[in-house]
């Protein structure tokens, strides 16, 4: 489904958010292609963040998030190749992660699954947003606006990634474009 605007609250995190913080290994017993377990993975998204994060990505009484946009810094998604990581974010209701850089396998898994947009930016967004700010992302103009402060920031072109995620992942895209 082609989508241009992603709106909602942002959740701000720091450097090197690794896949153990996104979805701790004890929950890797859940299989993402089983619908009930897909939802369950969502309910644990980012539960591995240290307790110093006072606001939790998933509230105690909820199984989804109120923050569809994650603002990160460098090397978001480093560590394991577990696809459970982008899937748990997507299942929780995350639509996009905007960060200064991504680890390779996480970035690739976001695209292959079509779960979340991995958006790269040179701007220091983690300083321009705080958790709970309202934001609006426009994929066509490649900007994200902090609706709380009124400031706008640009991000890098998604290139071919946009088409793949809009198609719903690598298989849908490959079929649509006649590759398989």
* Binding residues vs other proteins (CB under 8 A): 16, 18, 20-21, 24-26, 28-34, 37, 48-51, 74-75, 78-84, 101, 103-105, 108-109, 112-113, 169-171, 174, 180
Cβ closest to other proteins, residue 50 vs residue 150: 50
Measured from the CB of residue 46, what is the shortest distance to other proteins in angstroms? 12
Q: Which of left, alpha, beta for 142 (phi over 0: left; psi -120 to 50: alpha)?
A: left
Burial label, 59 (beta-carbon count in 10 A; 0-12, 13-18, 19+): exposed
Shortest distance (Å) from residue 113 CB to other proteins: 5
Question: What pairing do the DSSP bridges indicate for beta strands 134-138 and 143-146?
Answer: antiparallel
Assess contact for 16 and 10: CB atoms under 8 A.
Answer: no
Closer residue to other proteins in complex, CB, 10/170? 170
Residue 32 CA to residue 167 CA, distance in Å, equals 19
Minimum distance of other proteins from residue 13's CB (angstroms): 12
For other proteins, which is the closer residue by CB, 107 or 129? 107
Other C-beta atoms within 10 Å of 9: how many?
A: 17
Q: Which is nearer to other proteins, 11 or 137 (CB)?
A: 11
CB of 160 to other proteins, least distance (A): 9
Nearest distance in Å: CB 178, other proteins: 14
Nearer to other proteins, 84 or 95 (CB): 84
User: What beta strand segments (E) does the chain contain?
Assistant: 5-12, 69-71, 96-99, 117-120, 134-138, 143-146, 152-154
């Amino acid at each position: 489904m082609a989508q241009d605007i992603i709106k909602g609250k942002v959740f701000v995190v720091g450097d090197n958010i690794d896949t153990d913080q996104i979805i701790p290994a004890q929950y890797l017993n859940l299989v993402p292609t089983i619908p009930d377990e897909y939802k369950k993975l969502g309910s644990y998204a980012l539960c591995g963040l240290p307790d110093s994060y006072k606001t939790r990505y998933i509230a105690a009484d909820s199984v989804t998030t109120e923050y569809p946009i994650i603002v990160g810094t460098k090397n978001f998604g480093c560590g394991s190749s577990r696809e459970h990581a982008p899937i748990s974010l997507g299942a929780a209701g995350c639509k996009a992660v905007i960060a200064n850089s991504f680890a390779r396998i996480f970035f690739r898994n976001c695209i292959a699954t079509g779960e979340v947009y991995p958006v790269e930016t040179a701007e220091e967004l983690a300083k321009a947003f705080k958790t709970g700010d309202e934001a609006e992302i426009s994929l066509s103009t490649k900007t994200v606006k902090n609706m709380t402060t009124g400031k706008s920031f640009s991000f890098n072109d998604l290139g071919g990634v946009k088409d793949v995620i809009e198609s719903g992942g690598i298989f849908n895209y490959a079929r649509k474009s006649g590759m398989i």
